[in-house]
Amino acid sequence: MPEKEEQTEKKKYSSLYDFADILVSAITVITLLFLFCFRFAGVIGSSMFPTLRDRDSLLISATAGTAKPGDIVIITQPNIWHEPLVKRVIAIGGQTIDIRDGNVFIDGQELTEAYLPEGLNTEPAPAYSASVDMPYTVPAGYVFCMGDNRNNSTDSRFEEVGPIREDYLLGRVVLRLFPFGNFRVV
């Protein structure tokens, strides 16, 4: 084989090796990002309506740190449905929550919930009966979560869910991936 053909052959294999190296590196970086930084989750049901709808796809941050009131989180705490829940953090450990006359109070101050539609009652629908007595002080290391669709959400107000241990928070919702065009979550 002439020397020029040999060099062309080497360049071809070198380019193929470089492409494979870049591809493997990219897959490794993407895998590590989604393993340690971001995850995907889906919404099942209407408990977060109107903020989130059934079958919305979400990108969640697994490195969000401690949950803050107002954050939408994915909860993996065991429950009667045996599936993750999507809820909004209302109160954190040490805070006292009270629900009176359809309004939520945290440490005696009425909570402003701009993300809820005007006139929404925060009391459960008559078919439900909240089993957590109010006022309720959230234990340290726990959060109190509620769905935005308060009339149709089984959440921390109910014994079946109760307060959520912080270790069971998979992550904070960063944005909506699907449906396209409406990425923002508040």
87 is catalytic: yes
Same domain, 102 and 142: yes
Among residues 81, 90, 84, 157, the alpha carbon closest in space to that of 123 is found at 157
Same domain, 105 and 149: yes
Same domain, 166 and 92: yes
Domain with 26 in it? 1-36
131 is catalytic: no
CB atoms within 10 A of CB 177: 14
Give tens-digit pLDDT for 82-107: 888 999 999 999 999 998 887 899 99
Same domain, 16 and 50: no
Same domain, 77 and 12: no
Q: Is 111 within the bounds of a domain?
A: yes
Per-position DSSP letters for 71-106, written without gaps between them:
-EEEE-S--TT-S-EEEEEEEETT-EEEEETTEEEE
Residues of the chain below pLDDT 70: 1-4, 6-7, 9-10, 12, 33-37, 63-65, 119-130, 181-184, 186
Candidates 4, 10, 25, 47; catalytic one: 47
Give tens-digit pLDDT for 33-60: 666 667 888 899 989 988 899 999 998 8
Candidates 12, 15, 57, 87; catalytic one: 87
Integer Cα distance of 173 and 147 in angstroms: 14
Structure tokens at 73: 């989180």
